[in-house]
Amino acid sequence: MKLVVELKEKSLIDKFLDVDGFIINLEGLSCYYDELCPMEELEEVIKKIHQNNQKVYLNARKIFHENELDNLDQLLDRLLELEIDYYFYGDVTFYEMACKKHFTDKLIYQVNTYMTNHLDIMVMLKENHSVVVSTEVSFDELKDITNKVKEPLYIHSFGYYPIFHSRRELITNYQKYRQIEVDTSSNYDIVEELRESHYPIEQNENGMAVYLDGAYCLAEEIKELGLDNYYVITSKFIETNDFEKIVDIYNKEEFDKLPTIDIIYTKGLLYEKSKLLKKEGGASCE
Amino acid sequence: MNKVELLAPAGSLEKAKIALTYGADAVYVGGKQFSLRARASNFDLKDLEELASFAHNLNKKVYVTMNIIPHDADLDGLDEYLKALDAIKIDAIITSSRYIMERAKEVAASLELHLSTQMSTTTSLGIDYYHKRGVSRVVLAREVTLCEIEQIMKKTNVEIEVFVHGGMCSSYSGHCVLSNHMTNRDANRGGCAHSCRWNYTLYKNGEKQPMFYNIGSKDLMALKFIPKLLDLGVASLKIEGRMKSSYYLAVVIRSYRMLIDAYYEKGYVTEEDLKKSEIEIGKAENRLTSNGFFEGLPKVEGGLYDDRSEHPTKEYIGWVMAYDESTNVALIEQRNYFKVGDEVEFFGPTLPNTKMIIDEIIDYETKEKREVANHPLQLLLIKVPFKLTKDDMVRKVNI
Ligand code: SF4
């Protein structure tokens, strides 16, 4: 199985020799990340991964704002001197930059909420190396998408993912409103007053994000989706020990061992098809 | 200088006509398919055709929202729908799907493509990207500050549309699926349950905190930024709220219209102009408002916490259906309770706020006198000593 695994720690490079590649997080570029790789260590990390014949993926999923474009431009010039194989990105600002710098063939489009049908995915495939399928589809829809798109796709198969992302500093603002000490570095989670699930939240330089109430987990389902695809595993909110075991289970396809690791799993919306409602609602947009 | 467009939402044909009558230059509405705001999406093709013809007669425009983030099954019938919109001369579609854009270019070439705010476009490069793919107008993310809008406007010739009023997602639009996971209702397909406005308990390092945690946003009100936005050359100022009442639309649109017109006429607006518009808007709905991102990242004041007053006011009491100049009698359709002796205020697209005391109410059907008007949509005759026009409205003054 082709696994693309978030690089939680440098020491894991030599432990995960069977995975196809590692996702590296970098300040100024990444969003929804676990650990950042210091810029000064990047070259060495890339070299090490390539020595093992594995690929380097960079998390470039930040939403950019106008006053960040010069920095992005300069950062990309530095990165292009290194041998990064692919970039996960979600803001088309990044695509335009890549266009100017001629590396769109290395781009993998990923907005978890957008790529929800095979026709939009096919449009994006024409312009990108590949696409990550949305996590907001049911398993039947996911199967349908992978069947209809005849190219390998990237599929998020394990890990917490964001279900809300605000540019606002929603932890700081709350603490100021309540006149309590401002502290954004502790671990926070929220529980809706009528529900029981705990949703981790986090504030950083990209704003505030709410994550799913457990580690999303495709397991036996992968067999039905086909082994041509790339399966993405992320490490956020997972202890290193557990993460090592998880990657091992995916490598060996021993999914029945997952329950032996004490973490909260969820199937997200895989079997709870979200509905288009006719009666009420509507996000606060057009 | 090109004049800015004031763009208003409408959830029904009646509301769309009110919006255009009260000063909107264009309206955006949802069709039966492909549109967020599921409940507000009640325009069938016949309604859309009537609206397009009504608007075009006034030299105004109609945009149709096709802004869901579609799943495979939602895309059935897409080509036929696009062709139908093209045939009835809809001016543009507002969309977020690259596939819908591609199909529209192919089968409905005269439909303009406007990029929905659902795509959270925040930079000039993002605008370039979509422009190269056929988009003629980009609705900016509401996360873009005024300073950033200024930088963007220097780098693009593409039409830019900016939200100036109404509800705000506290998330980047299109990036929130709280509702999907908490209620199984897809926020990106019209089912948002406004989960960002619910109360949450916060746990810090596993320990329950004593006070509720909230992540919701106050509504946006950008009256004071209108002059700057006009100076920057923004193409369109957008009001949010396809689910809002006719009264709300009339009041909000008229307030922005007056301010925009005053700025074009005088070259400036005074504190008094701004205050007047703000007071007017306050008469339509008591929702808490903020400056959104216009002045930078919203601080504490931008959030919704325990203190909410979100109820529409009961001030709106009637809609003028006709006025007989020979008898000075107005035919009014009742919208909220009022009685003889109440002080009321009439207003309209061209009628300034004008007060009077109700001294007589006559039932239009029975011609009997009434002390109170307490039946919704009841037709009533009221003597009004100044000239009214159809579609003027009346509200209570002291409640
Ligand atoms: S829950 Fe709030 S932020 Fe999320 S889509 Fe709905 S209105 Fe927008």
User: What residue segments make up the domains of chain A, in order of their start?
Assistant: 2-161+212-273, 162-211
Orientation of helix B13-21 relative to helix B246-266, angle to 10°: 20
Tell me the backbone φ, ψ of residue A50, rounded to 5 degrees: -65, -35
- Residue B211 has a pLDDT of 87
pTM beyond cutoff 0.90: yes
A20, A55 contact by CB (below 8 A): yes
Average pLDDT (A161-170) is 98
Model pLDDT for residues B61-92, shown as the tens digit of each residue: 999 999 999 999 999 999 999 999 999 999 99
Q: Percent of chain B having pLDDT more than 70?
A: 96
A283 touches ligand 1 (CB under 6 Å): yes
Residue-wise pLDDT for A26-44, tens only, equals 999 999 999 999 999 999 9
Q: How far is the CA of B29 from the centre of ligand 1 (A)?
A: 20
For the segment B112-116, the average pLDDT, to the nearest whole number, is 98
Residue with tokens 């529900």: A195
**Residue B102: is its pLDDT beyond 70?**
yes
Which of B27, B121, B181, B242 is the mutation pick for testing A, counting most A CBs within 10 A? B181
**Burial (CB count within 10 angstroms: exposed 0-12, middle 13-18, buried 19+), residue A172:** middle
Nearest partner of A165 among B70, B171, B168, B163, judged by Cα? B171
Judging contacts by C-beta atoms under 8 Å, the chain B residues touching residue A208 are: 215
Contact residues on chain A for B79, CB-CB shorter than 8 A = none
CA A271–ligand 1 middle distance (angstroms):
23
Structure confidence at residue B69 (pLDDT): 95
Where does chain B have alpha helices with state H? 13-21, 45-57, 78-87, 98-107, 124-132, 146-155, 178-183, 226-232, 246-266, 271-282
Whether the CA torsion B39, B45, B49, B52 is positive or negative: it is positive
pLDDT exceeds cutoff 50 at A280: no
Do residue B190 and residue A198 have CB atoms under 8 angstroms apart?
A: no
What mean pLDDT do residues A80-86 have? 97
Region B171-181: mean pLDDT is 95
Instruction: Look up the ipTM and state it.
Output: 0.95
Name which of B127, B213, B305, B307 to mutate to probe chain A: the one with the most chain A Cβ atoms within 10 A of its Cβ.
Answer: B213
Task: Give the number of other Cβ atoms within 10 Å of residue A159's Cβ.
Answer: 24
* B274 burial type by CB count under 10 A (0-12 exposed, 13-18 middle, 19+ buried): middle
Q: How confident is the model at residue B58 (pLDDT cuts 50, 70, 90)?
A: very high
Q: What angle do CA A283, B113, B293 make, to 5 degrees?
A: 45
Q: What are B249-286's pLDDT values in tens digits? A: 999 999 999 999 999 999 999 999 999 999 999 999 87
* Chain A residue numbers touching B122 (CB-CB < 8 A): 63-66, 91, 93
- B134: distance to nearest CA of chain A, Å? 14
Q: How remote is the CA of residue B69 from the centroid of ligand 1, in Å?
A: 14
Residue B172, pLDDT score: 97
Q: CB B289: neighbour CB atoms within 10 A? A: 20
pLDDT (mean) for A57-66: 98
Q: What is the pLDDT of residue B169?
A: 95
pLDDT at res. A123: 98
CATH number, domain A2-161+212-273: 3.20.20.80
pLDDT at A15: 96
Q: What is the mean pLDDT of residues B165-192?
A: 93
Which pLDDT belongs to residue B274?
96
Q: What band does A273 get if pLDDT is binned at 50, 70 and 90?
A: low
Instruction: Kindly tell me if the per-residue pLDDT of B314 is higher than 70.
Output: no
Q: Which of A173, A212, A281 is facing B191, going by the closest CB pair?
A: A281
Q: Is B10's pLDDT higher than 80?
A: yes
> How far does the CA of residue B361 sit from the closest CA of chain A (Å)?
37
Kindly tell me if the per-residue pLDDT of B235 is higher than 90.
yes
Q: Is A249 part of the contact surface with chain B (CB cutoff 8 Å)?
A: no
Going by pLDDT thresholds of 50, 70 and 90, the confidence category of residue B219 is very high
The confidence band for B222, taking pLDDT boundaries of 50, 70 and 90, is: very high
Per-residue pLDDT, B286: 78
- Mean pLDDT of the region B231-240: 97
Average pLDDT taken over every residue of chain B: 94
Cα-based distances in Å from B281 to A74, A177, B32, B312: 46, 26, 30, 11
Question: pLDDT tens digit string along B325-358?
Answer: 999 999 999 999 999 999 999 999 999 999 999 9
Q: How much is the pLDDT for B190?
A: 86
Q: What is the pLDDT of residue A286?
A: 78
